[in-house]
């Protein structure tokens, strides 16, 4: 009887600990104060800046073209593609994610040149991954360079806010010095250019994408939970888009550049060459509290860690 009671107590404690762990994922934090980079650059209307890439019937423009909804249903996902290519810049969108059970759903805001360089393309990815019954979306960042798709450089974070109740800003700063990923202007990851490993840093012109699609094979717990289309359509809302940098043709020839927010060039100006102390502190806060996966710590996946990790 005593053994049975002990087992019962242990089981209850185990479940309680799991509940605490799950609840911690959904905890709402108050982030540090930082400079709002999104306030430094002008916005562009979606109808002026983007074309419909796929799933046109699942894309709706609203607010005189300043906003859009993109949807995933059983027939198709959908996506927007920028009309111009950019060679460095600041790119941002306010996104409201689908609520409810969203396992397998991927909402992505990213840069890519796969259409122009299919065998050695670059990518800078923000991928928002739907989850299981906990409904806690995951913020995944990733970088590919020169077709190195076999070496994904993923880092994953829980968010400190509910991304389904209102729009939140997801941003990428990409210049000759570093790549910075931000959520609501809080830097969560910095990937610095390293002269010792130049081939791993994206440097070719890219277009901007905003998409929603079925990632059942991998997105939620490695593909354990796929999209359940009885909850479809899954709709993401996009607003307050910013695409500021140097427009370029595929060869890298600059066509035109956005106006700088100050006297500095927004692409490679001194004020954007490194993070401020305030931003470094905020990034440390995000990584300590909310990052739960980094490829640089995955010794099961990599027998020898990628060179920039050491």
Examine the residue annotation and report whether 127 is marked as an active-site residue of this protein.
yes
Which residues sit opposite 157 in a β-bridge? Answer: 139, 291
How crowded is residue 204: how many other Cβ atoms within 10 Å of its Cβ? Answer: 18
Measured distance CA(9)–CA(30) in Å, rounded:
35
Catalytic residue among 127, 155, 190, 242: 127
How crowded is residue 133: how many other Cβ atoms within 10 Å of its Cβ? Answer: 9
Measured distance CA(89)–CA(202) in Å, rounded:
12
Measured distance CA(133)–CA(100) in Å, rounded:
8
Which residues sit opposite 69 in a β-bridge? Answer: 60, 237
DSSP secondary structure code for residue 125 in this structure: E
Backbone angles phi, psi at 16, to 5 degrees: -60, -45
Examine the residue annotation and report whether 123 is marked as an active-site residue of this protein.
yes
List, by residue number, the catalytic residues.
123, 127
């Amino acid at each position: 009887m005593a053994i049975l009671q002990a087992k019962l107590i242990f089981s209850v404690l185990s479940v309680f600990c799991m509940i605490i762990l799950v609840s911690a994922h959904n905890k709402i934090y108050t982030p540090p104060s930082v400079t709002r980079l999104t306030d430094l650059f002008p916005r562009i209307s979606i109808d002026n800046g983007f074309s419909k890439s796929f799933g046109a019937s699942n894309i709706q423009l609203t607010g005189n073209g300043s906003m859009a909804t993109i949807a995933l249903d059983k027939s198709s996902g959908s996506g927007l593609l920028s009309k111009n290519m950019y060679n460095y810049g600041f790119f941002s969108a306010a996104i409201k994610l689908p609520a409810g059970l969203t396992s397998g759903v991927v909402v992505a805001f990213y840069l890519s040149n796969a259409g122009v360089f299919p065998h050695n393309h670059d990518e800078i990815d923000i991928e928002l991954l739907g989850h299981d019954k906990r409904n806690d979306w995951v913020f995944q960042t990733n970088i590919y360079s020169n077709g190195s798709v076999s070496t994904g450089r993923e880092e994953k974070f829980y968010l400190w806010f509910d991304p389904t109740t209102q729009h939140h800003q997801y941003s990428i700063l990409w210049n000759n010095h570093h790549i910075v990923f931000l959520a609501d202007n809080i830097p969560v990851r910095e990937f610095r250019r390293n002269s010792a490993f130049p081939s791993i840093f994206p440097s070719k012109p890219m277009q901007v994408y905003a998409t929603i699609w079925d990632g059942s094979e991998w997105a939620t717990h490695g593909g354990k939970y796929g999209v359940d289309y009885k909850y479809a359509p899954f709709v993401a809302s996009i607003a307050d888009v910013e695409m500021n940098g140097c427009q370029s043709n595929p060869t890298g020839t600059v066509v035109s550049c956005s106006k700088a927010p100050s006297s500095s060039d927004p692409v490679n100006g001194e004020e954007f060459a490194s993070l401020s102390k305030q931003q470094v502190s905020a990034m440390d806060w995000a990584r300590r509290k909310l990052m739960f996966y980094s490829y640089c710590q995955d010794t099961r996946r990599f027998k020898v860690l990628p060179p920039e990790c050491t």
